[in-house]
Each structure stands twice: as structure tokens, then as C-alpha cells.
Amino acid sequence: IADLYSIRNKTGFEIDSAYSYSGYEVWGSNTNCLDRKLYDFLCAYNETDLRSFTVRRKKVYDEIQQLINSGKIVSLNLNGCLIHSLYPIGNNKELQELNLGNSFFQKHKEITFFKKLKSLDLSGTRISSTDSLPYLDQLISLNVRDNSISDLKFLARFPLLERLDISTNPVTEINDLGVLKHLKVLDMSANKIYDLSPLKNLDSLEELFMNNLSTNAGAIVSLKNLKALSLEKCDHLIGSLLSGKNIFPLLENLNLQSSSLYDINFIYTAATKENPEQLKFPALKIINLNSNEITDTQPFAKMPELEQVSLRNNKLTHTTGLSQLKKLKRLYLNNNYLYEISCLDSLFQLEELNISENINISDFKPLTHLTNLTVIILSGTRFNNLDLISSANSLKTLEIKGCKIKSYTGIKKFVNLEEITVSNMTMTSAQYFKELKKLKVINLHTPNTGVYEFLKKTLPGLTIEMSY
């Protein structure tokens, strides 16, 4: 047990576990199941009578108590467990992080066992009344998402709170947030909030998430320290949320995915006789505009600090304006209606590019200038010549599924390639992959099992996945 807890937080502890398949997180993880077994053992031990006493069980219990007393169990992830009481772990006075999300726990007064608690997760625990939540003067992070909380007066019991998640609750007003003078991260998504003006009292706020808002709450006040803002799925409300003359001088990350946007004119303040238009987000580095109705990229020309632009699933036909983004490192334009990519040829700092599923692009010569690419995704396009990207000496990931490549002889130039996704291969073209000494993964999309067997035989150390 001591050995398990000594490696609990190390990289790799969750890898190759029957519990930790990423597609089904609800089933838990190594960490979650280890903590659950510890809790279940302590529950059973406390109910043991003399007739059930064993030396082995006592030895395990003593080892757990020694770990607790020496402060080596400061975090417990009991998410999804059938917990009705904290008494079995109540003597752990050093506990700093406690996750009780999606459990049956309702005895909130028992949380007072843990005076040093800094992080508490009570998400999905069917809280309707917060009267029994205790005063925790060291709590920094609180998650009460997905409950039935409507009154936020209880927040005064956590004066040092820096992170708060109240998303997916029937909250309609946020006046009580003003007591949280240290709040840095706030998620109040999926609530019906009618007035955002109380946010002006949160001077320390750095990250704000208001996804899936359905009510017009007026404009977001200018928050001088805000660095990240997420307004995903705020259909038809972006114009009002970002209206007015408010400037966000430090904002670096803006998420407006799936918000029915037709343009991005909201990035400027309205021009007047006295004042010219101003950029509302002068420090913006990352913008996510995926799944909207945007047709024009020209406004991006006035956002020179951008390092990442996501425009997946829009209605773009050209790349005008993007050539001005000299600091751009990551660009995602997949699933659009692009006819040309000429403006990309001057984006010399670009490291990741996705223009997949743009079948109308006919000229890929602009790619020849992008020497710093490490990831390029061209699947579902008319790309057919590997020589056009041969100058990308640092390329690690290449996806050309559905591309009718004329010849694979040029593949050997990508000496740093680690993963490739291909289709329409023959055994003749497959032989060139033997030249790639750093290659780790081949994702093969072909009904030709002969190519698959050939690669498995000639490249035994690789992971080769086959699909049709």
C-alpha cells in the first residue's frame, strides 16, 4: 500500500489500466479505484468484531494509519463511490484534496474533519440546500456543478477561494460572488443569469467560463486581469455579451465555438468622431471559432499577436488576412469550402496545420515555405505530391487519408516522422516506410490486408492500426 501511494501521482500511473480507458472515464481510473479500495477497507474494518479479527487485516490497517499520520495521503478521489459518511477516513487530519463528485454523500458537516482542506469536489451530489456546508478557511478550489443550488450566499464561508465551478445549477443572480476577493477561475456555464454587472467586483478573475448561456445578461464588464474567456454555445448572444466599449487588455484565450457567428466584427469597439475603433483583445493569442457560419478571415489581419486560430466547420472559401499573422503557430481550417491557401505561404512560424476535408483546394504550393511544421493534416483533399512539404524537416505527424499520392518515394525525407495516417497504399509504396527510423505508428485505411501483413512483418516494432 505504501508503495502504491508513493507512485500514485507519478506520470504513467494511469497507463494500461483496466480502469483508465479514456473513452469511459465514468468507470474510474487507477487513482480513483485505489482510493476507493482504501475507503472500502476502512469501512469494513470499522465494522469488524473480534470474531472477524485477523493479523493480516490488522497489519494492513496499521500500515494505512501510518501513511495517514505521516501525511502521505493528502488527496482522495472518491468520485462515483457509494459514500454516505466520511467517518472511516475522518482521522486523516492532513487531507488537502477530496473528490466526492457523483456520490451519495449528503452529510456536509462531516467535512469539518478536514481542517486543512484546499480542494473539494461535490459535483453531481444532488445538493439543493447549502445550509450545512461548513466554514473552510483554507479552501482554494470548490466544484459544485450539476446540482440544484440557486442561492450563492454560502460562498462567504470560503474566503480564500480561487477556483469555483457553479455550472449547471439554477443560478439566476451572482451578487454574492463579490465576497470572493481572491477568485481567479470561475465557471458558471449553463445557468440562467440575468445580470453580469456583479462581475466588476472580481478584480482578481483570470479565467471565466460562461458556456451555453440562454438569457441576455447584458455586456460583460471589462475585467482588467482576465486572460481566458469561454462563451461556447451562446447562440445569438455574443453581440450583446461583447458589446460596448469594454477592453480586455490581458485576454489571451477566447472560445466562441458553436455560437452561430457570421462574422467577428465584435472584436472592435465602435468608432466615433472622438475615438477611432479599437481592438477589444489586443493581447489575444488563441481564438476558437469552430462550428460557426464565418465566411471572411480578413479581420484577423488586425490581430497580430495570434498564435493559434481554430476555424473548423465554418463557410470559408479563402484565407485572406491570415498572411499578417506572423506569430501564428497552430492553424485549423478543416471542414470548410476553401478554394485557395495562398495566404499561408508567409506563415513561417506555423507548427501545426489542418486543412483536411477541403476538396476544392487545387494548389498546394504555398506549403513549400512552411519549414517549421511538426503536424500537417491533409486528409480528404486533392493533395498528391509529398515533395511539396519535403522542406518540413521537423515533421512528426502526417495525415493524408484519402489523398491520391503519386509516389511515396519522398516519404524518406521526413526523418523525424513518428506517426502517419494513409490510405490507397500498395506493397511497393509500403517498402519506403522502412527508411523512417523514428516512425512509431501507422494508421492504415485500406481494405488491402496484404499491405497490412507486409508492414507488420517488415516493421515489427511499430504500432500498425488498420481500418476500412
Position 82 confidence tier, pLDDT thresholds 50, 70, 90: confident
Position 429 confidence tier, pLDDT thresholds 50, 70, 90: confident
Evaluate the CA torsion angle 425, 351, 303, 236 in order and state its sign.
Answer: positive
pLDDT (0 to 100) of residue 448: 81
HEC letters along 357-406: CCCCCCCCHHHHHCCCCCEEECCCCCCCCHHHHCCCCCCCEEECCCCCCC
Helices vs strands, H then E, count in the chain: 6, 18
pLDDT at 176 over 70: yes
Position 424 confidence tier, pLDDT thresholds 50, 70, 90: confident
264 or 147, which is more confident: 147
* Alpha-carbon distances, residue 34 vs 5, 19, 42, 75, 161 (angstroms): 9, 10, 13, 11, 28
pLDDT (0 to 100) of residue 296: 94
Copy the grid coordinates of residue 205: 478573475
pLDDT (0 to 100) of residue 16: 67
Residue range 396-421: average pLDDT?
95
Residue range 33-54: average pLDDT?
83
pLDDT at 255 over 80: yes
Position 269 confidence tier, pLDDT thresholds 50, 70, 90: confident
Q: Please, which residues have CB within 8 angstroms of residue 219's CB and are 6 or more apart in sequence? A: 196, 240, 241, 242, 243, 244, 246
pLDDT (0 to 100) of residue 313: 98
Position 241 confidence tier, pLDDT thresholds 50, 70, 90: confident
What percent of the chain clears pLDDT 70, i.e. is strictly above it?
Answer: 95
Q: Please, which residues have CB within 8 angstroms of residue 327's CB and are 6 or more apart in sequence? A: 304, 305, 306, 307, 349
| Average pLDDT, rounded, for the chain | 91
pLDDT at 36 over 70: yes
Straight-line distance from the first to the last Cα atom of the chain, in angstroms, rounded to the nearest whole number:
45
Copy the grid coordinates of residue 183: 477568485
Per the document, the length of the chain is: 468
447 or 189, which is more confident: 189
Residue range 59-73: average pLDDT?
94
pLDDT (0 to 100) of residue 426: 85
Report whether CATH 3.90.1150.10 matches the domain 311-402.
Answer: no
